[in-house]
Amino acid sequence: MAVEEIVDTHVHLYDPVRLPYGWMRGDPILDRRHGLSEFEAATGGLAVAQLVFVEVAVDPGHHLAEAEAVQRLAERDPRLAAIVARAPVERGAAVEEDLDRLERLPALRGIRRLVQDEPDPDFCVQPDFVEGVRRVGARGLVFELCLKSARGQLARAIELVRRCPEVRFVLDHLGKPPVAEGAFEPWKSQLRELSRAPNVVCKISGLITEADPRRWTRSQLRPWIEHAIACFGFERVMFGSDWPVSARTHRYATWVAILDELLASCSADERARFWGGTAREVYRLARTGEPTARHPDTRA
């Protein structure tokens, strides 16, 4: 394996004993503590130099406590270099109260509000949602999009991005395409359209969980990954594991090996961008021994 150093842009850390996560209750894999020690064990000796925590859909009313708990972890382990917290951007201007409190956390780099489970396909283009996203961007934070393309949500995300050209967006999990069904369209065309917006970056993550958990193959995944890289280029793609959700279908090292093989013919610079360079730029991550990047104050 040729991977020398990894920045993992999509890791979930949590303890369901300390905070409630109703969506995973009873799940034999997920419904237990997943902290930094468990992550270390899961990586199996791979050189994960830094990681980005992404909110875990904690029960309503607990999102601030979740982010604050992760900040305490980050203060003990410098590998935990960034936090993408949850905030109710659908509240429009009222989300400022949440953002004020979250901005006290030194590791805060982004905000996510899950779209994937919303029954209304227009949820993310409603005026208050758009206003909330703009306020995230005005603070120099990225906004992460977690959605399902098969539910028409990728098409709405294109419209959201058009309305917020000043916000940097990160698309999680390639927009969750219908890999199991093999339905490349309309995902393929919509991803190409989204990639035309220069303010969008794509995580190569979470793909196996969209495939048949018992029948997926490496060759089945390849065209989806190749299309995403062709659309965004190495300047705007980055690695993510989606651990421990990924543990439902595969080992951490399996996903790394799949991508390592796929990128074998790429240049050293392209590989460096994929495994860490893009992530460090997007999340303003300092390398070990470097000073932390200053938070850009983009407000007037």
The CATH code of the domain that includes 134 is 3.20.20.140
Give the H or E element holding residue 7: strand 6-11
The runs of H, that is alpha helices, within 169-244 are 187-195, 218-232
Asked if residue 49 belongs to a domain, the reply is: yes
Structural domain for 20, as ranges: 6-282
User: Chain-centre distance of CA 126, in angstroms?
Assistant: 22
What's the number of domains the chain is made of? 1
Please, which residues have CB within 8 angstroms of residue 272's CB and are 6 or more apart in sequence? none
Asked if residue 265 belongs to a domain, the reply is: yes
Asked if residue 298 belongs to a domain, the reply is: no
Q: What's the pTM value of the predicted model, to 2 decimals? A: 0.94
Q: Flag the least confident range among 126-140, 221-235, 253-267, 281-295.
A: 281-295
Q: Flag the least confident range among 91-95, 161-165, 290-294.
A: 290-294
Distance CA 191, CA 212 (A): 22
Say which residue, 122 or 297, is predicted with more confidence.
122
> Do residues 10 and 172 touch, judged by C-beta distance below 8 A?
yes
Give the model's confidence band at 287: pLDDT under 50 very low, under 70 low, under 90 confident, else very high.
Answer: confident
Q: What is the mean pLDDT of the chain?
A: 94
Asked if residue 228 belongs to a domain, the reply is: yes
Looking at the DSSP bridge assignments, the partners of residue 50 are 7
Q: Which amino acid is at 264?
A: A
- Mean pLDDT, range 265-291, rounded to an integer: 89
Asked if residue 198 belongs to a domain, the reply is: yes
Residue 297 has pLDDT above 50, yes or no: no
Tokens of 52: 């980005």
Residue 212 has pLDDT above 80, yes or no: yes
Residue 295 has pLDDT above 80, yes or no: no
Asked if residue 292 belongs to a domain, the reply is: no
Helix, strand, coil fractions of the chain, as percent rounded to 5: 45, 15, 40
Asked if residue 211 belongs to a domain, the reply is: yes
Asked if residue 287 belongs to a domain, the reply is: no
